Structure 1
């Protein structure tokens, strides 16, 4: 297949490129630094700076994962504008470009997040559940999904990937936690009761590939492990793997003082289930967080 990726140099995109390259697919990554694409994504992957550079070669599928990191810094007005531009405006531009092509791809798999639901509290959230919150993250995801869904009018199958926290050894949420936890400075956030929907990177790659190859799959899919955990449970599981205590909680008021509105993303969560993926026959390799962490972190991490 001929596959175009935006956000292909990110954590998920790099792993997808490595996997699909091994399957013999023809891959192109649109990136602000196209010269870095072969090094980051694989020697056979072509990098382009803008969509117009794709040319007239065939295009079977588009995977839209672009977006500035949402939790790296407080949500100032400038930061919110960047988050919106890197997701919503880029997706609108992508769909417009697809509309100008004579030959359309069969499918657009577009990124989103479980933050679409807002802070779900104790609500059990399946793929068909309505949104229960209206914070900035929820508004961002809603606008992002809206723009991707416009591709349906072009006759393109649209799949929305509502992804949880992706666990990986060399990047993302888990990598940022390793240093403080290894130093024995880890602990729950707030009261620790907020739900933390997670997924192992290997399962994230596998489910995207699964949805790519199932032409009946469309609409929103919760991309998270079948067994969500609370923040306190995740904290304890990580401490066990690293053989470190987790006795230093971060009070909610400290997070709010440091991060402002962004703190709501860490103090809230979603008790989400991947109901549609399970019904479609997708099988997760990593169902519980302890098994996932044991797989990702070896003895050298606990040293």
Structure 2
């Protein structure tokens, strides 16, 4: 099978490539830095630094995971622009080439996030939810998904990954939280009632492969564990697994001073459920937050 991946050096991309059969599959990775990618990825991977119609032809699957990390820097005007363009431009280009290809891929899997829904109260959100909150994360994801869906045709199935908070030992939100919690400085954020829709990295990869092998799955797919929890439950569980106290509360105003608008990612949440995955028979390896955190931290 021929598979083209963008964002292959990111957290999800690296884990996905490790899970794929690189001996039998021809995997091509689009990267801005071939030298860096060659150090991070399997030697059997073909690396390209630009995309052409020829690269799209004869691919069986394209998996688009490229994008500037959304929570690494304060959201200045230039950073917002980088977040948007790093997602929109490559996705629009891929869809355009798929439309032009004589032999397009049978499947285009493109990234998105539960940020599509914007901040929500405690309503349970599945893929049919439409009461989006019109904030920055929604605008990013809405346009991102629009460009991806342009590739849909009788020849190409399109699936959109609305991914939640990915938990992994190396990288992502958990890696940033571990040090303060190990030092006994962890605790809930603000009132702690905001819902965190999380997912273990192994379940993310298994879900992507499941989508690849399930022809009925298309359109938006929530990539989250079936049991989201409040921030208070998440932080107390993390402290319990680490055998540390969870006594400190971080006030909302401090986060707003430090992170500006980006603080909204921490102060508001969404209760997202993976309805499509479960209805199609996907089984989560880590459906409960305590088992997920225990596995990652013990590992």
Q: How high is the TM-score relative to the length of structure 1?
A: 0.95
In structure 2, the partner of 1:211 is: 211
Distance 2:88 2:159 in 1: 16
In structure 1, the partner of 2:242 is: 242
Residue 99 of structure 1, CA deviation: 2.7
In structure 1, the partner of 2:19 is: 19
In structure 2, the partner of 1:293 is: 293
Answer whether contact 1:21 1:27 (CA < 8 A) is retained.
no
In structure 2, the partner of 1:174 is: 174
Distance 1:260 1:286 in 2: 33
In structure 2, the partner of 1:73 is: 73
Residue 13 to residue 237, structure 1, CA distance change in 2 (3 Å)? same
> Residues 32-90 of structure 1, C-alpha deviation per residue, up to 9 Å, x if partnerless?
01233333221111111011296487310000000000011111110110011001122
Secondary structure, aligned partner of 1:220: strand
In structure 2, the partner of 1:158 is: 158
In structure 1, the partner of 2:37 is: 37
In structure 2, the partner of 1:121 is: 121
Secondary structure, aligned partner of 1:222: strand
Answer whether contact 2:56 2:105 (CA < 8 A) is retained.
no
Q: CA RMSD in A?
A: 1.6
Q: Which runs of 5+ in 2 are unaligned?
A: none
Q: Which runs of 5+ in 1 are unaligned?
A: none
> Residues 183-242 of structure 1, C-alpha deviation per residue, up to 9 Å, x if partnerless?
111111111100000000000000000001111211111100000000110101110111
In structure 1, the partner of 2:251 is: 251
In structure 2, the partner of 1:145 is: 145
Answer whether contact 1:21 1:44 (CA < 8 A) is retained.
no
In structure 2, the partner of 1:231 is: 231
1:136 aligns with 2:136: yes
1:101 aligns with 2:101: yes
Aligned length: 299
Residue 141 to residue 55, structure 1, CA distance change in 2 (3 Å)? closer
Distance 2:283 2:56 in 1: 37
Distance 1:94 1:58 in 2: 14
Distance 1:201 1:254 in 2: 30
Distance 1:53 1:173 in 2: 36
Residue 22 of structure 1, CA deviation: 5.1
Distance 1:118 1:4 in 2: 30
Secondary structure, aligned partner of 2:265: helix
Residue 154 of structure 1, CA deviation: 7.2
In structure 2, the partner of 1:86 is: 86
Distance 1:38 1:21 in 2: 18
Distance 2:131 2:23 in 1: 37
Distance 1:132 1:13 in 2: 28
Answer whether contact 2:57 2:103 (CA < 8 A) is retained.
no
Structure 1 range deviating more: 285-294 or 14-23 = 14-23
In structure 2, the partner of 1:63 is: 63
In structure 1, the partner of 2:186 is: 186
